[in-house]
C-alpha cells in the first residue's frame, strides 16, 4: 500500500491517488486535494456535496455515483459539473477521501 503526505498528514492511497482509509481524511486534506484537482477554494456548495458523499459512503460502503449525487443530494448535473469540472463523481470521491466510484473509468 502506498502512502502520500497531504496537508502534513501521511495517508494510505491506491495507485490512482484515492485514499483507501476514509477515517484518515479531514477538511485540510480535502482542501489540498481539491487544489490538486484544479478547485482553488471549497465553497459551501462544495461542502454540501462532500458532506453528502461521506455520509452516503458511510452508509453504503462505497462512493456515490454521479446519478446518486444528483438525485439524492439535490444537486443538478449542471451544478455538479460547475463545482467539480471534468469528471465530477471521481473528483467528489477523491476530495471526500473515498475510493473511486463504481463505473468510473
Which residues belong to the active site? 104
Question: DSSP characters for 6-45?
Answer: ETTEEEEE-TTS-BS-GGG--HHHHHHHHHHTT-----HH
Which strand (E) or helix (H) includes residue 2? Answer: strand 2-6
Residue recorded with cell 490538486: 36
Closest CA to 43 of 79, 69, 7: 79
In whole angstroms, what is the distance from residue 86 CA to residue 82 CA?
9
Amino acid at each position: 500500500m502506498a502512502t502520500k503526505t497531504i496537508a502534513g498528514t501521511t495517508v494510505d492511497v491506491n495507485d490512482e491517488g484515492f485514499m483507501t482509509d476514509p477515517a484518515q481524511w479531514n477538511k485540510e486534506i480535502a482542501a489540498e486535494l481539491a487544489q490538486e484537482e484544479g478547485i482553488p477554494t471549497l465553497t459551501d456548495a462544495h461542502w454540501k456535496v462532500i458532506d453528502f458523499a461521506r455520509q452516503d459512503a458511510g452508509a453504503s460502503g462505497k462512493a456515490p455515483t454521479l446519478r446518486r449525487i444528483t438525485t439524492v443530494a439535490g444537486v443538478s448535473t449542471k451544478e455538479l459539473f460547475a463545482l467539480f469540472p471534468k469528471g465530477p463523481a471521481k473528483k467528489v470521491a477523491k476530495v471526500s477521501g473515498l475510493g473511486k466510484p463504481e463505473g468510473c473509468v
